[in-house]
């Protein structure tokens, strides 16, 4: 079995209570029958940043190059990585109207992680019964709760 024969499914989600406000991210990884969950948070952030952190951390934990089916419920993340990023990179991380790309630090980190793997992007509608997305959402909200507690 080669390294890229390793097929991993990942569900990611971000949450924020207030935007900006305390936020969290959650990840569910499945490799065959093995599952791993991750979560974290930030006491002052935005929902988009937490959606991005979930993808970054989900990919970062993989120790070798894998085939990844990445389930996201964020159009911002999905379009950013499949449509917009190519132009941003060509323009030096500027939008088509010459403004700096918002969250460029995280787009760059995500791009580094994406380059390590073969990614199949799948958009899922959030809060619509997808079991993996529902679990990632619970983990993201756990991250919010921990971020709030740590900020006290």
Annotated binding-site ranges: 13, 51, 73, 137
The residues near 130 (Cβ < 8 Å, ≥ 6 apart) are 11, 71, 124
Contacts by 29-36 with C-beta closer than 8 Å and gap 24+?
Answer: 29/58, 29/61, 29/62, 30/132, 31/6, 31/7, 36/61
Indicate if 137 belongs to the active site: yes
86 is a catalytic site residue: no
Q: Is 51 a catalytic residue?
A: yes
Q: Which of 13, 26, 39, 117 is catalytic?
A: 13
Known catalytic membership, residue 111: no
Per the CB < 8 A criterion, the answer to whether 136 and 27 are in contact is yes
User: Has 132 been annotated as catalytic?
Assistant: no
The one catalytic residue in 40, 71, 73, 143 is 73
Catalytic annotation present for 24 = no
The single residue of 39, 51, 57, 80 carrying the catalytic annotation is: 51
Query: Annotated binding site for Mg(2+), which residues?
Result: 13, 51, 73, 137
Which residues are identified as catalytic?
A: 13-14, 51, 73, 127, 137
């Amino acid at each position: 079995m080669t390294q890229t024969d390793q097929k991993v499914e990942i569900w990611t989600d971000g949450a924020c209570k207030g935007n900006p406000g305390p936020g969290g991210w959650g990840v569910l990884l499945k490799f065959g029958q093995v599952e791993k969950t991750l979560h974290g948070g930030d006491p002052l952030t935005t929902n988009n940043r937490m959606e991005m952190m979930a993808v970054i951390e989900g990919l970062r934990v993989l120790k070798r190059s894998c085939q990844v089916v990445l389930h996201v419920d964020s159009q911002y993340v999905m379009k950013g990585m499949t449509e917009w990023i190519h132009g941003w990179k060509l323009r030096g991380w500027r939008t088509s109207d010459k403004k700096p790309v918002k969250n460029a630090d995280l787009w760059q980190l995500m791009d580094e992680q994406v380059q390590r793997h073969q990614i199949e992007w799948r958009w899922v509608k959030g809060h619509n019964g997808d079991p993996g997305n529902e679990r990632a959402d619970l983990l993201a909200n756990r991250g919010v709760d921990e971020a709030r507690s740590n900020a006290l």
